[in-house]
Structure 1
Amino acid sequence: MELFSLLLKIRTELESTQAEMVEKLSLHHEVFANLDLITYSRWERGVSMPSTLRIIHLLSFAQYDVIRYLVKLDLKLSKTKINQMRRIEAHAYDQHDLIQGAFYPIPDASFKHHSGSEPLTDMDKLQRICDSSGRFFKFDHLAVRERCERSIILQQKHALHILTCEGKDDSLYAHAMLSVHNMHEREQLRSEFRHFYNTPRAAQLSGDKVMFFHSVMRFNLKWWEFTCLYLIQVLCREPDIQELFMIVRDKSAAQIYANFGFKVEAKAENEDINPFGGRRKLISISRDDFLSHHGIIAWLKAHADLLKD
């Protein structure tokens, strides 16, 4: 589907002139603050193309399924930006080969996501997740059961997303978490990222937010693809999330993410250097910078089969 056809479709549905579309988009989001009638007309005639970020906000404005339309649209994408996303995936392939050499592959694994009306409430699995996370973060003040009960509330409030890789026998092989926080918690996260989950937090979210993403185990490329897709979906669906935080340890990974636009916020002190030769680093990128990469769209198009699951 051509973008100019989609723009005309949206405008027809809204029964608006081009001038009215410019006004509505300008009021919808600051990314359209400098949009003028000439520029919009060029988009609708297929003469030029809006930025990736503007395309995402156009789809959001029209209340379309952002991810699925990004896959359907026929877009001319910057090769430079495409390659930046491919480098991150290539690194995931390298890790996949390395770890698969040490651990057996898991047959018939299923990937699940838990949040909102479908939280993970299995206390045994939640306790195992706490035990695993405790190897990476310091949990001192809350009893495990209390922490698990709180995590259910956070999931119900969309303040926590839990992703799991499970086997047929209900085994839990891996998990990832996307933890959403109010913007005023940003500095605490930045300065105490190893101890951050030690402090109970309110489940009520409002205004601008930040998200802390971490995957405790990246043992399988399909798992990496699943968590990556879910991350993009949340960022596209929740525009109030202004910034994304992640932790890296591998030196080469840190550089790859830096090339993508991430910056180092903090480094863990007084810990053993891992076999890859790096200390844990907290890195961050703004939501708009992350979604501005044409490589996001190219990656989604290359993994369209994931959307069928």
Structure 2
Amino acid sequence: MTFSDCLLRHRWRLKYSQQEMTVRLSWLDDEFKDLSLVTYSRWERNVNMPSIKKILKILIFFKEDLLDFYINTPFKPSMIEEKAFNRFLAYYYYFNDYWALCSYGVHEHPVFTEHDENNPFTETGKIQGSLRKFIEISELYRKSPDEKITLQKRGVMKLLTCKSEQGELLTHTGWILFPDSKKAIITNSILNGGKEIIPIQKDLSVSTTEPSVMFMRPILHFSREWFDFVLNKIISTLLLNSNIKEIILPTRTIDSSKELLQFGFNVVKTECSAKNLKQNKQKGLELRIMRISSVDLLSNYGLNMWFKEYQHKKMMPST
């Protein structure tokens, strides 16, 4: 189904005229406050198309299948957004190449796995070992292994793992879904070691209607293929769960936060009470909490083109 078909189908369902549909969309969001009847008519007749952001907001409003549209709709090109995404990708590819060369050695056939409530990652005690390649464990509050398993079984925590052929956990990443109402507590807690998050997590459950926040840890490096696998899972999750309104993640280096800023993230909070803060800044270190809305992330044309290409590769028969 094309976007124009979608508009027409929902207008008929609502028994609206084009003028009434234009007014209804103008109430939906500030993005549409200047929407004219002429412009709407052109959308419906497939003469031209709105931006990806506007299309996504309309599809979310109509509760359409975002994943199908995102893969199959030819969106309006944007060279600026494509270049921004390619810079972002090149930065993370560089660091994945570096870690693959310096920290892991040769692993010809690593196994990437997505864990969910039906297939939780139960070897959570090994996570600290894979983390030590990247950060000082003593800096973080450590959830118990049982707690991680419980959160996975509730569908609140998602873990993605990368193992060697022999079953060694090489690296991992993941996220936790929080109610949007708890966002301020989460961001403040991250800057103070994470202890305030624990009482909230005990009662977390998945809601398909309540607005939620995806709190991610940074994607720990291994290889380009691993980074692509993780990014695909993040985008697929956002497309399949339109109640996830934004993504929050911490960065520990100023350079990495700059790359995210150029891509569209913004800084929510920065470390303000850490020991040796001045010395850390001189070393290029500063804990920052970054955020981006799901729609803003998905609206990047370069990301959309990459995602379509990745899905195409997945469907190609292996040789």
**Shorter-chain TM-score: what band?**
0.7 to 0.9
Aligned to 1:246: 249
- In structure 1, stretches of 5+ residues that fail to align are none
Q: How does 1:191-202 map to 2 (within 5 A)?
A: 191-194=188-191, 195-196=193-194, 199-200=198-199, 201=201, 202=203
> Given that residues 187 and 269 in structure 2 are in contact (C-alpha distance below 8 angstroms), is that contact kept between their aligned partners in structure 1?
yes
Aligned to 1:41: 41
Aligned to 1:126: 124
1:73 aligns with 2:65: no
- Alpha-carbon spacing, 1:100–1:80, altered in 2? closer, same or farther (3 Å): same
Aligned to 1:91: 91
Provide the C-alpha distance between the structure 2 equivalents of 1:28 and 1:151, rounded to a whole number of angstroms. 42
Provide the C-alpha distance between the structure 1 equivalents of 2:260 and 2:296, rounded to a whole number of angstroms. 12
> Given that residues 18 and 37 in structure 1 are in contact (C-alpha distance below 8 angstroms), is that contact kept between their aligned partners in structure 2?
no
- Alpha-carbon spacing, 1:279–1:15, altered in 2? closer, same or farther (3 Å): closer
* Cα distance per residue 1:121-143 (max 9 Å; x no partner): x2xx2111255557275226x6x
> Given that residues 22 and 36 in structure 1 are in contact (C-alpha distance below 8 angstroms), is that contact kept between their aligned partners in structure 2?
no
- Alpha-carbon spacing, 1:13–1:169, altered in 2? closer, same or farther (3 Å): farther
Aligned to 1:300: 307
Aligned-pair Cα RMSD in Å: 3.5
AA in 2 matched with 1:69? F
Q: How does 1:1-309 map to 2 (within 5 A)?
A: 3-4=3-4, 19=18, 22=21, 26=25, 30=29, 34=33, 37-60=37-60, 65-102=65-102, 103-120=104-121, 122=122, 125-130=123-128, 132=130, 135=137, 138-139=140-141, 147-194=144-191, 195-196=193-194, 199-200=198-199, 201=201, 202-206=203-207, 207-215=210-218, 217-268=220-271, 269-270=274-275, 273=280, 277-305=284-312, 307-308=314-315
Give 1:170 shift: 2.1
Give 1:173 shift: 1.1
AA in 1 matched with 2:116? S
Provide the C-alpha distance between the structure 1 equivalents of 2:139 and 2:252, rounded to a whole number of angstroms. 14
Count of matched residue positions in the alignment of Structure 1 and Structure 2: 300
- Alpha-carbon spacing, 1:107–1:274, altered in 2? closer, same or farther (3 Å): farther
AA in 2 matched with 1:287? S
> Given that residues 162 and 172 in structure 2 are in contact (C-alpha distance below 8 angstroms), is that contact kept between their aligned partners in structure 1?
yes
Provide the C-alpha distance between the structure 2 equivalents of 1:203 and 1:299, rounded to a whole number of angstroms. 33
* Cα distance per residue 1:100-131 (max 9 Å; x no partner): 331313221121112233332x2xx2111255
Q: Secondary structure at the match of 1:184?
A: helix
* Percentage of identical aligned residues: 22
After TM superposition, the score normalised by the length of structure 1 is 0.80
> Given that residues 158 and 176 in structure 2 are in contact (C-alpha distance below 8 angstroms), is that contact kept between their aligned partners in structure 1?
yes
AA in 2 matched with 1:230? K
Provide the C-alpha distance between the structure 2 equivalents of 1:234 and 1:137, rounded to a whole number of angstroms. 29
- In structure 2, stretches of 5+ residues that fail to align are none
> Given that residues 221 and 227 in structure 2 are in contact (C-alpha distance below 8 angstroms), is that contact kept between their aligned partners in structure 1?
yes
AA in 1 matched with 2:257? A
- Alpha-carbon spacing, 1:47–1:306, altered in 2? closer, same or farther (3 Å): same
> Given that residues 60 and 242 in structure 2 are in contact (C-alpha distance below 8 angstroms), is that contact kept between their aligned partners in structure 1?
no
> Given that residues 156 and 206 in structure 2 are in contact (C-alpha distance below 8 angstroms), is that contact kept between their aligned partners in structure 1?
yes
- Alpha-carbon spacing, 1:219–1:289, altered in 2? closer, same or farther (3 Å): same
Give 1:304 shift: 2.7
* Cα distance per residue 1:58-84 (max 9 Å; x no partner): 555666543343232222211111111
Give 1:88 shift: 0.8
* Cα distance per residue 1:232-251 (max 9 Å; x no partner): 12222222222211122333
Provide the C-alpha distance between the structure 2 equivalents of 1:113 and 1:83, rounded to a whole number of angstroms. 29
Provide the C-alpha distance between the structure 2 equivalents of 1:42 and 1:285, rounded to a whole number of angstroms. 30
- Alpha-carbon spacing, 1:69–1:247, altered in 2? closer, same or farther (3 Å): same
- Alpha-carbon spacing, 1:184–1:66, altered in 2? closer, same or farther (3 Å): closer
* Cα distance per residue 1:16-57 (max 9 Å; x no partner): 776499389849964786456533321132322122123234
Provide the C-alpha distance between the structure 2 equivalents of 1:280 and 1:214, rounded to a whole number of angstroms. 12
> Given that residues 11 and 18 in structure 1 are in contact (C-alpha distance below 8 angstroms), is that contact kept between their aligned partners in structure 2?
no
